[in-house]
Structure 1
């Protein structure tokens, strides 16, 4: 036996067939070109599509019903809040003018605090980006005051803006 003089010139052939199921090539199902079989497949697909559309329609109807319930709950909640606010206003008529004045002053304080915070950020931007301590100090300095002030403004705004209904 003699070896080929150039081993890389040896002719080797390697062949492998791969299929999605791993079982080799599959033959087409019998009658796959038969118009009657194709028509049955088409009808089956249309039935499946129709069932999916019916399910989608039922889900849409359920979502619509839930949305209507949510809208009704929101309306009832707004009506309760409005009635509660009106009761409070009728019981505390003297506080309405004070609330309006206080709201105006607190809005000025709020604007000043926001301005101070903007200046602080402008001066210390690089430190806030790079240093965790500086960011924590910034949050501690402005966060609680701003959060509490926003809460106070949220309480005063409806009182200051709402007008009680005139007594009949």
Structure 2
């Protein structure tokens, strides 16, 4: 277990440990799984080392959970591109009640998982541009934080406003 990777020296230690067969778990503050690759490259780790060392990248965000006692369907919105959310997105709201006092009760984790398979490994090793890597990852089933957030909104787990506050609109 490596603490947070904040500098090139720590990144290099983590990559070397991974290359010698050790399972390395660490944290790195980025906005998405794809940005993790950019940050590690900026720290001086070459693509060929990243490609062979990485097995999985996880991005997560916590959003406030709508209160199950007072949540109710709100107006449906359909302003997301079809590749992000096909059809109409059902939104929810919670006015607050004696259980929550605010409309929210607890937190919910949203995840973006990027397993590094052989195709991605080769693309990372070749230092493919980030946009191309992201496109390749989406072709292989990557669900972004935004899509994970839209799913949570549709289920009534959180509000659209809360998801947008935490994730933003440009993370698709």
TM-score by length of 2: 0.21
Larger gyration radius, structure 1 or structure 2: 1
Greater helix share, structure number: 1
Select the structure that is richer in strand. Answer: 2
RCO higher in structure (CA 8 A, sep ≥6): 2
TM-score (norm 1): 0.21
